[in-house]
Amino acid sequence: MTQMQPPTMPSPAGGSRYPMTPPPPPRGTNTLAILSLVLAFVVAPVAAVLGFVALGKIKRTGEGGKGLAVAGIVLGVVFTLVGIAAVLFVVLATPTRTTDNIETQIATTTEQTVGVAPTGVQCPDSVDVQVGATFTCTAGVDGQNLTYLVTQKDDAGNVGIVSQGFVSTAAAAKAVDDEATKNAGVPVTTTCADGAKVVVGGPGTTFGCTIAAESDPTITEEATVTITSDAGDVSISSGG
């Protein structure tokens, strides 16, 4: 006789009759990916390298953190390039210098030339250090601005300062004195431009001077002074 087998009952809720394999434990976030993102704000080149290493490990192990690694790479590369650009800018940028000491020199030169201290000296706040480069400064005297041309002689900060477009009346009066004394054979005293300290103007500008004999100030003669160059050279003609 054939022995009958008892029927097999299905597992509850339609499940399998065989034991289920437990799911694999969840994998954590890759540590190098986290470090890559954090270090991007501190040591950008290292962050970029760690990001690439993290991507390789994530691909092999299936760990999480791919987005963190990519972000670390991008930020690391960007910040590295910005740092390189900043260094190049500092290294290649033209050095500059302040002009405070030049303003002091011009104030001294003006006082020596004109006979009075200027009311103020104005130069550019800073200039590029470049041999042969020029810039202008002004000094205030008698309500007028006297112009100086400044030329950089070397990289050490030495400069040449030349007056531009004005004449000291004291210097003009001395030139007239010397010529009149030589021609007349007697000492004279000269007053120019109605007692002004300076005459501002380029070549061709004229002003008058009065020559008086020291022995008798009532004996006078007029002279005309003409500015002949931007540096303040003059010519003198008497009887004007």
147: which 2 tokens?
């112009």
What is the rounded CA–CA span in Å between residue 139 and residue 128?
Answer: 22
Average pLDDT over residues 111-134: 89
Asked whether the whole model's pTM tops 0.85, one would answer: no
Nearest to 106 by CA among 135, 74, 68: 135
Can you state the angle between helices 44-61 and 66-92, rounded to 10 degrees?
A: 160
Bridge partners, residue 127, by sequence: 97
pLDDT digits (tens, 9 = 90+) for 45-96: 999 999 999 999 999 998 999 999 999 999 999 999 999 998 888 777 667 7
Neighbours of 162 (CB within 10 A): 14
What is the rounded CA–CA span in Å between residue 67 and residue 153?
Answer: 58
pLDDT at 233: 86
